[in-house]
A = this chain, B = another copy of it.
Amino acid sequence: VFGIGDFARHGRVSIRMLRHYDAIGLLRPAQVDPASGYRSYEATQLAELNRIVALKDLGFTLQQVQDMLNDHVDIDELRGMLKLRHAQLQAQIVTDTARLTQVEARLRTIEREGQMPADEVVVKQVSPVRVAELTAIAVSYAPEHIGPAIQPLYPELMARLAHAGVPIVGAPVAYYEDEPGSDGAITVHATAPVNVEPDDKYDFEIVDLPGIATAATIVHHGSMDNVVPTGQALSQWVDANGYRSTGYAREVYLDCPPELEKWVTELQAPVELI
């Protein structure tokens, strides 16, 4: 029979933990002195404590451990809990591995440039959105072809939306697709988020833009004429951080004041790991 201190030492847990497990009913001492409140434990309780520690080490909460040990879960629930934990651990390892790669990329940048990278790139999820759009075709993805193709579309789209009385509910988005069957030509889509159903009466398309499960994003400041270096920074980041690009980046026009150098745009490149 052990005092709480000896029992804690043998079980490699803290005294505070034993008191906590007592308080929540997870592991009650074999004896409690009624006068002093001193707890005492029996040697056989060490097996019980080991069971608790083992389950806790797998990452289960104390509540889950308690349910498992008191047979509050049947075999199928138990299997389910283990499978869930299995999936969580796999996901955790995947994201930690990605983090590790990013930390390494930052360390390399520090060694090379003597300072922290500008931290501009964030990987996030982009949700689906319904937009009104006009399209045009550019002969290539080169900026000198894209710009002239897309620029006239926006004033026209805005005018048609205004004329149809359809309000814009978010920031305009541009996106690009390969023109099928054509050699290097690009379909450019100029869009603005709306909240209406498709209708033949409109002189623009209503399209549901799918979400992007994993998008590497960067904020571009200034005129879109100077977007190329920002786009390059984005693809370099993607390459250096264990991702691969899976398509053309969307452009979200967050702020488009008359002075072109004050524009703020977000580039959203769809990517996947490794």
Task: Mark A residues whose CB is within 8 Å of B.
Answer: 1, 10, 12, 42-44, 46-47, 50-51, 53-55, 57-59, 68, 75, 78-79, 82-83, 85-86, 89-90, 92-93, 96-97, 99-100, 102-104, 106-107, 110, 114-116, 118-125, 171, 217-219, 221, 252, 254-255, 264, 266
How far is it, in angstroms, between the C-alpha of A264 and the C-alpha of B48 when the chains are bound?
A: 13
List 22 interface pairs A-B (beta carbons < 8 Å), by A numbering. A12-B124, A12-B125, A44-B264, A46-B219, A50-B120, A50-B122, A50-B219, A51-B120, A53-B122, A53-B124, A57-B122, A58-B99, A58-B102, A59-B99, A75-B114, A75-B115, A75-B116, A86-B100, A89-B100, A92-B96, A93-B96, A93-B97
How far is it, in angstroms, between the C-alpha of A218 and the C-alpha of B104 when the chains are bound?
A: 40
Closest Cβ of chain B: how far from A270's Cβ, in Å? 15
Are B96 and A54 in contact (CB-based, < 8 A)? no
State the oligomeric state as a number of copies: 2
B residues within 8 A CB of A123? Answer: 57
B residues within 8 A CB of A12? Answer: 124-125
Are A55 and B103 in contact (CB-based, < 8 A)? no
Are B110 and A79 in contact (CB-based, < 8 A)? yes
B residues within 8 A CB of A96? Answer: 89, 92-93, 96
B residues within 8 A CB of A99? Answer: 57-59, 89
Closest Cβ of chain B: how far from A6's Cβ, in Å? 8
Are A50 and B217 in contact (CB-based, < 8 A)? yes
B residues within 8 A CB of A217? Answer: 50
- A73 and chain B: residue at smallest CB distance: B116
Are A85 and B58 in contact (CB-based, < 8 A)? no
Closest Cβ of chain B: how far from A18's Cβ, in Å? 15
B residues within 8 A CB of A119? Answer: 50-51, 54-55
Are A103 and B44 in contact (CB-based, < 8 A)? no
Closest Cβ of chain B: how far from A215's Cβ, in Å? 10
Residue from A50, A123, A125 whose CB has the most chain B CB atoms within 10 Å: A50
B residues within 8 A CB of A116? Answer: 68, 75, 78
Out of B10, B54, B58, B102, name the residue touching A266 (CB < 8 Å): B10
Are B78 and A110 in contact (CB-based, < 8 A)? yes
Are B103 and A85 in contact (CB-based, < 8 A)? yes
